[in-house]
Amino acid sequence: MGSEMTKKYVFSFEEGDWRDKKLLGGKGASLAQMVQLGLPVPPGFTITTEACRDFYSYEEETIEKLVKELERGPPPDIRDKLIGEVWKIVDRLPVPEGLFEQVKVYVKKLEEKSGKIFGDPNKPLLVSVRSGAAVSMPGMMDTVLNLGLNDEVVKGLARLTNNEWFAYDAYRRFLQMFGRIVLGIKEELFDEVFKEIKSKYGVKYDVEVPVEGLKEAVERFKHVIQREWGSFPQDPWVQLELAVKAVFRSWMNPRAIFYRMANKISKKEADCTAVNVVAMVFGNMGWDSGTGVLFTRDVANGENRPYGEFLPNAQGEDVVAGIRTPMPLDKLKEMMPQIYDELIKASKVLERLNKDVQDIEFTIEKGKLYFLQNRDAKMTPLARVKTAVDLVMDGILTKEEALLKVKPEHIVSLLYPRIDPKYKGKPIAKGLGASPGAVSGQVVFHPDVAVEWARNGKKVILVRVETKPDDVHGFYAAVGVLTSRGGMTSHAAVVARAIGKSAVVGAEAISINYDNKEFRVGDLVVREGEWITIDGTSGDVYVGKIPTVEPELISEVNVLLGWADEVRKLGVRANADVPEDAVLARKFGAEGIGLLRIERMFRKPERLNLLRKVILAENVEERVKYLEPLAEMIKKDFKEILEIMDGLPVIIRLIDPPLHEFLPAPEEILKELYESKIKGVDDAALKEFEWLYNRISKLKEHNPMMGHRGVRVGVTYPEFYYYLTKSMVEATAELIKEGKNPILEIMIPQVALASEIKYVKEKAILPAIKDVESRYGISLLNKLKIGTMIETVRACLTADEIAKEVDFFSYGTNDLTQATFSFSRDDIEGKFLPQYIESGVLMYNPFETLDDKGVAKLIEIGTKLGKSSNQQLEVGICGEHGGDPKSIEILHRIGLDYVSASPYRVVVARLAAAHAAIKYKSIS
């Protein structure tokens, strides 16, 4: 305990190291930075995150257990019970020993700097008590403003400022905020009182309430506190101690826990919050005062122009909460040009120093500018990409730094749909497009309902008058958010942009009635459960499901991805089944086709009919009879895709799925047979049905995924692989004759034995190539590659033998994951997999992100063995994991040559591969 006594918990803004966000938190670091740059900042000090950690250390184990339970996503009733238990523990925790002795010393220093005295009615010092973790968590934790006010100090403040209205407005705000945040009293109790007072005086806005009404609010608010908690503490030191503890406690409030879970913020990144105690400056002291938020660039589209909002005669929470609709920043330029210029000049200094677009909160008190906070701005994915590129062009970032600013999900978000331009319907309302993408969903009015409906597979849009931090779980559940109040810096706008949800805010034509679960626009009524569409780019709101179209990527995406291509070691190809996929793949920068599934070409009725005859045939001659025309049919498809990808490799997989998948079920045939008998169909037709039923029954397997499929079909029916190979090789030969440069790579699936490959090469693949060479008079064998899909455990363990027979490996991680876990994907995902993840048995779905401890080890073993016996061996992956950023990082580490993903994930893979290369370069 003795060492704890000497521990330094408090730093002034002048002495704190602003580079140490881990200790000072983001807000404390930003205040220290701005003070040390010489910018006008109200004086204050930071209580470190270490103090918060020590606060929780008394019951750390118990709290950790409860938080782990919360992370599993329990139902609302259990969630609320767990949160209640956490808060009971937190409420009885003592603040670290010696902390408040240090706080008192720093309050004295604050008094000396400000010339004011804490708790003195004649020279009142009021402070804000603000949270601030190392990682920005906007609106997730708590802040208390105007602390230090009491019944005597408010009178002194009124005398000092000669503004009784201002003093009592500050006091009623403080009582409500202190009551809600520190004492845990429901906000509605205060709202109802103030609503009654506004009604009594016949006013609409808070600023219109006369001073008598504010005094009445103060008394009634104190009565609410007395009734719900006990006497309001008049001693400012008691207020400060309770407020600091409340900010510590807010680290464990439900929305903060949920935000950290949803944004995967680890304890390593941020394990507690700092507390910033700052002398109050007032934006509500008259029309020469105000408050606002400035972004150094437009956070919606990334344009290099200052963007923000300003509210005269207001405090900061009015802007963030969306209580009043703010003015654009240009109005400040008109009203106070000198202050505007000072603000812009400082903002550019902060942007260059912090190497990112800045989000700056400021207050103007009686014509003097004060900076309250700066942080890296939350932006739309569009703006994130554009600004990352522009900051390189402006000499602020390196290319590698810019690449790390953009997450793969930002690129995915740019593929959001938009309203089809051909759609002629009119929107029912218009707000501000706060976060892009056109989405349709069923209307819900409460975040808990959004979560419940989303769990049941419904797409929902959360509709609120304005959102609050407590609504954040509803954001994640909804496909979009719509509010009737608020601006581009309101809570709804900031959070939606941060998590990539479409949002329209400030749609003032919408009147929402929570009790009736409906909203109105004029005479139009939209009820809960009805469908609407919002366009987070234009701000338009429509009734019903509206047609959408896929967007085009902005030019900066190509610039950024070009830089990614310079850095990454992994090649990126695309999985494609049809020519349209190949066109998209090439458009998005794929370096070839990593998997073309041949079976998808059999879906057309005439082809499926021939394929069924091939499967049902009882001898080689009969199979060949149907394979010849079938091969000719699919040759056209091969040729088209090879031509689209001219000059780039195209891996075509020989038929892989169990053959029964192409046949009707025996039960269907039995039903047809029965119905035919009833109808009196002739004996010849009945015998045909009986033969078909017996033949399909004979081909049916108990475990088809482990049965007669893949290479096993090629071994048992070499003619099958011969004609499929002949078809694709002929397509290649014809293109070469036409002067094109097709690069064909033939892949054999489901291999477990090197001898399987050797057999089908000798009996089917090589004879087909030789026959085509002879027919077209050209040499092809040296232009083609033959490889295998590694998707069995044995193939990984004997990869050195297999590698001697092939030119390439491509890991089929979907089947390899099934084989490794002994899971049937189709069965487990709808049954026990969700429970495995919720209960913590599995940390994630191994079919989405590669299993690092099992499947990845097999890939690593197979790759090392394969390359040890064949140094020219090319190794890639063609499972769905090829488009998952975490999996791509693992595959880079293992040393694969390329990944292959669906066409729309190609851009993701290119960026994720660059991230992996940068990460491992810095580690090495």
Residues paired with residue 503 on neighbouring β-strands, in sequence order: 435, 481
Between the alpha carbon of residue 203 and those of residues 206, 209, 283, 900, 924, the distances in Å are 8, 7, 21, 63, 66
Single out the catalytic residue among 52, 272, 473, 491.
491
Contact 466, 485 (CB under 8 A): yes
How buried is 395 (Cβ within 10 angstroms: 0-12 exposed, 13-18 middle, 19+ buried)?
Answer: exposed
H helical segments located in 115-235: 153-161, 164-177, 187-200, 211-228
Between the alpha carbon of residue 87 and those of residues 50, 215, 253, the distances in Å are 20, 33, 8
Pairing type for strands 548-549 and 874-877 reads unpaired
Contact 331, 519 (CB under 8 A): no
| Nearest alpha-carbon partner for 488 in 366, 352, 320, 346 | 320
| Nearest alpha-carbon partner for 790 in 809, 804, 777, 814 | 809
| Nearest alpha-carbon partner for 372 in 73, 617, 41 | 41
Instruction: Report the C-alpha gap between 287 and 291 in whole angstroms.
Output: 11
Contact 443, 527 (CB under 8 A): yes
Instruction: Report the C-alpha gap between 254 and 277 in whole angstroms.
Output: 24
Instruction: Report the C-alpha gap between 336 and 291 in whole angstroms.
Output: 13
Return the structure tokens found at 152. Answer: 């005597």
Contact 882, 899 (CB under 8 A): yes
Pairing type for strands 898-901 and 874-877 reads parallel
Residue 223 designated active-site: no
Tokens 């009945």 -> residue:
686
Between the alpha carbon of residue 54 and those of residues 4, 256, 337, 797, the distances in Å are 9, 19, 47, 50
Contact 726, 784 (CB under 8 A): no
DSSP codes, 215-283 = HHHHHHHHHHHHHHTSS----HHHHHHHHHHHHHHHTTSHHHHHHHHHTT--TTT-SSEEEEEEE---S
Single out the catalytic residue among 660, 796, 878, 881.
878
Contact 397, 385 (CB under 8 A): no
Question: How many angstroms from the chain centroid is the CA of residue 459?
Answer: 17
Give the single-character DSSP code of 206.
G
Residues paired with residue 132 on neighbouring β-strands, in sequence order: 274
User: Which residues in 590-737 belong to E strands, given as ranges?
Assistant: 593-597, 649-653
Within 10 angstroms of residue 272's Cβ, the number of other Cβ atoms is 22
Residue 13, helix vs strand vs coil? coil
Dmax (CA) of the chain: 111
* CA dihedral angle for residue 433, residue 438, residue 443, residue 447, rounded to 10 degrees: -70
H helical segments located in 462-513: 472-477, 491-499
Task: Look at the chain and count its residues.
Answer: 924
Contact 563, 625 (CB under 8 A): no
Residue 878 designated active-site: yes
Element (H, E) at 348: helix 337-354
Residue 188 makes CB contacts below 8 A (sequence gap 6+) with none
Within 10 angstroms of residue 780's Cβ, the number of other Cβ atoms is 17
Element (H, E) at 423: none
User: What are the catalytic residues?
Assistant: 491, 878
